[in-house]
Structure 1
Amino acid sequence: MSEQSGTGGTDRRILERISEMVEAERGLRAALVEGRIDQSTEHRELKEIEEQLDQCWDLLRQRRARADAGEDPGGASVRSVDEVERYES
């Protein structure tokens, strides 16, 4: 994946955050299988992580689109879960 000049550091931090959340998802699933949490806890926490993941991916897409259009990727902003979910469907 190529990085636009000036976007690399922030994009890299967003991707690191995405990786952290994916690991958290795996941890929740393992905790459920091992009986350390119940299914309702897993569902609730997974929903929160998935919403945050959607926001991160949306922010990364915004940044890349702005950079591709010759605009400042720093002008991208985190959108609300409701707004992001509307785009996802």
Structure 2
Amino acid sequence: MDEKDILARIDEYVGEEQRLRDRYQRGDLDRDEEHQRLEHLEVALDQCWDLLRRRRARIDAGADPGDADAHVRPPDEVEGYLQ
């Protein structure tokens, strides 16, 4: 997956998030469904942003951004960061 693919996936997730919120506001979706899917999207977006940052850091360091270390990390690893 290259940077273009990651950014496309981010756009896809953000679009889905907006559609979910619109459906909820229209009453086409109950709060539990919306909340569950939004939680999933938040984690997926965090994973994408994490991967993108790591790939860019590898490029800045002169390393191959597509190296084996440049993969999507598990949710518990990505969500466990202190900010």
Identify the TM-score tier after normalising by the shorter chain.
over 0.9
Match of 2:32 in 1: 40
CA distance in 2, matches of 1:63, 1:74: 7
- Identify the structure with the greater helix proportion: 1
Give the share of equivalent positions with the same residue, in percent. Answer: 52
Distance, in Å, in 2 between the alignment partners of 1:20 and 1:49 is: 10
| TM-score, reference length from structure 1 | 0.86
Question: C-alpha distance in 2, partners of 1:54/1:32?
Answer: 23
2:73 counterpart of 1:79: yes
Structure 2 residue aligned with 1:14, among 3, 6, 11? 6
Q: Once the 2 structures are TM-superposed, how far is the Cα of residue 88 of structure 1 from its aligned partner?
A: 5.0
Distance change in 2, residues 1:45/1:88 (3 Å): farther
Larger RCO, structures 1/2 (Cα 8 Å, 6+ apart):
2
In the alignment, structure 2 segments of 5+ residues that lack a partner are none
Q: Unpaired segments of 5 or more residues in structure 1?
A: 1-8
Distance in 1, Cα, partners of 2:2 & 2:62: 17
- State the match for 2:57 in structure 1: 65
| Alpha-carbon RMSD | 1.2
Structure 1 residues 70 and 52: CA distance shift in structure 2, 3 A = same
Give every structure 1 segment of 4 or more consecutive aligned residues whose post-TM-superposition deviation is greater than 6 Å: none
Aligned residues: 81
User: CA deviation digits over 1:47-86, x for unaligned, max 9?
Assistant: 0111100000000001000010001100211100000011
| Distance (Å, rounded) in 1 between the aligned partners of 2:72 and 2:60 | 19
